[in-house]
């Protein structure tokens, strides 16, 4: 039963020598386990809001892997100023970027807003990573072949993009807010992949254009700190931990999407347990994906053509 719960495992032994990886939210949970694995393969930049926790995680990973190229950088996805500062410093210090893993996220937050006035789930899980990807995309293109990996969730099936109330000011349910943001991850991935392939829908599955791929994934139900904002969920996670993936097990699909050789030319897809997975009809709505892209650009005051 535990083997069934654990799900798929990344079998790739691909090395990342001379390559650079950024992982957001890599100080705990599946992000930390993803960083631990990739640190055995190449250089990893741990991008986190809490520097103290990130340094502790990085120190542990360095000691275990023997790789001193595990570097901590400050990144607060709830503040566009922090995102821009992170990108500016990274671009000044690093000449290449081969893998960007948009892993950080919040879940079940009481109603709150980011520094820029965005509803917290939408702001951190979607808009923060949208802006980060925008700022780093040229470096990814210059370093191609490169990959963008967006950690979404099965919860996207329960999501809707409520353009009339994106920030939950008219009505708010923190469970649904999380679902909406995870759907946004799937739609962002789909539209990004389409644009990277020269706006050709027929090329969506194969990276023929820029040789930068973008894929999304569901890590599974993982025993991690993600549910910390809900007292009930925290206790349920403890009680039913036997039925949940460990962070290491939950990280396997992120690692798979980052390094698996068979995904070299695959883009615009959604994975779970290291294999393609079903996407909800709302997650396949190209018109909604395009509209969300345009609205996101307006909210972030950027031009991304």
Each residue's pLDDT tens digit, 163-202: 999 999 999 999 999 999 999 999 999 999 999 997 555 5
Token readout for 59 is: 């120190």
Catalytic residue among 111, 178, 256, 270: 178
Closest CA to 131 of 141, 123, 139, 121: 123
Rounded to the nearest 10°, the torsion over CA 299, 303, 304, 305 is 130
Whether residue 4 is predicted with pLDDT greater than 80 in this model: the reply is no
Intra-chain end-to-end CA distance of the chain, in Å:
48
State the CATH class of domain 1-300: alpha beta
Closest CA to 36 of 273, 271, 250, 260: 250
Distance between CA atoms of 47 and 104, rounded to whole angstroms?
Answer: 9
Q: Where are the domains of the chain?
A: 1-300
Is residue 256 part of the annotated active site? The answer reads: no
Which residues make beta-bridge pairs with 216?
150, 270
Contact 67, 41 (CB under 8 A): no
Instruction: Give the pLDDT of residue 241.
Output: 56
Each residue's pLDDT tens digit, 194-245: 999 975 555 455 555 789 999 999 997 665 555 555 555 555 545 555 457 7
Token readout for 110 is: 């009481």
Q: Any idea what DSSP says for residue 125?
A: I
Each residue's pLDDT tens digit, 29-40: 999 999 999 999
180 C-beta neighbours (distance < 10 Å), count: 25
293 C-beta neighbours (distance < 10 Å), count: 19
Residue 234, CA distances (Å) to 27, 50, 106, 249 in order: 19, 21, 14, 19
Each residue's pLDDT tens digit, 82-104: 999 999 999 999 999 999 999 99
């Amino acid at each position: 039963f535990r083997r069934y719960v654990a799900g798929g495992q990344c079998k790739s032994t691909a090395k990342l020598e001379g390559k650079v990886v950024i992982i957001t939210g890599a100080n705990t949970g599946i992000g930390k386990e993803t960083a631990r694995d990739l640190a055995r393969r190449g250089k990893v930049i741990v991008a986190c809001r809490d520097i103290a926790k990130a340094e502790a995680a990085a120190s542990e990973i360095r000691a275990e892997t023997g790789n001193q190229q595990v570097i901590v950088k400050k990144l607060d996805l709830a503040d566009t100023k922090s995102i821009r500062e992170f990108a500016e410093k990274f671009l000044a210090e690093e000449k290449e970027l081969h893998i960007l893993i948009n892993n950080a996220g919040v879940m079940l937050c009481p109603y709150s807003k980011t520094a820029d006035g965005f509803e917290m789930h939408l702001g951190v899980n979607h808009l923060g990573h949208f802006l980060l990807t925008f700022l780093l995309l040229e470096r990814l293109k210059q370093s191609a072949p490169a990959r963008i990996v967006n950690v979404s969730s099965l919860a996207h099936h329960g999501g809707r993009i409520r353009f009339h109330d994106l920030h939950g000011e008219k009505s708010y349910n923190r469970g649904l807010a999380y679902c909406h943001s995870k759907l946004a991850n799937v739609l962002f991935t789909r539209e990004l992949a389409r644009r990277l392939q020269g706006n050709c829908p027929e090329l969506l599955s194969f990276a023929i254009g820029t040789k930068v791929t973008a894929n999304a994934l569901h890590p599974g139900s993982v025993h991690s700190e993600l549910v910390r904002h809900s007292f009930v969920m925290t206790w349920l996670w403890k009680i039913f931990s036997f039925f949940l993936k460990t962070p290491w097990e939950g990280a396997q699909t992120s690692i798979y999407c980052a390094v698996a050789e068979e995904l070299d030319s695959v883009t615009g897809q959604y994975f779970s347990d290291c294999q393609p997975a079903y996407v909800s009809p709302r997650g396949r709505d190209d018109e909604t994906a395009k509209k969300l892209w345009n609205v996101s650009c307006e909210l972030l005051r950027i031009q991304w053509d």
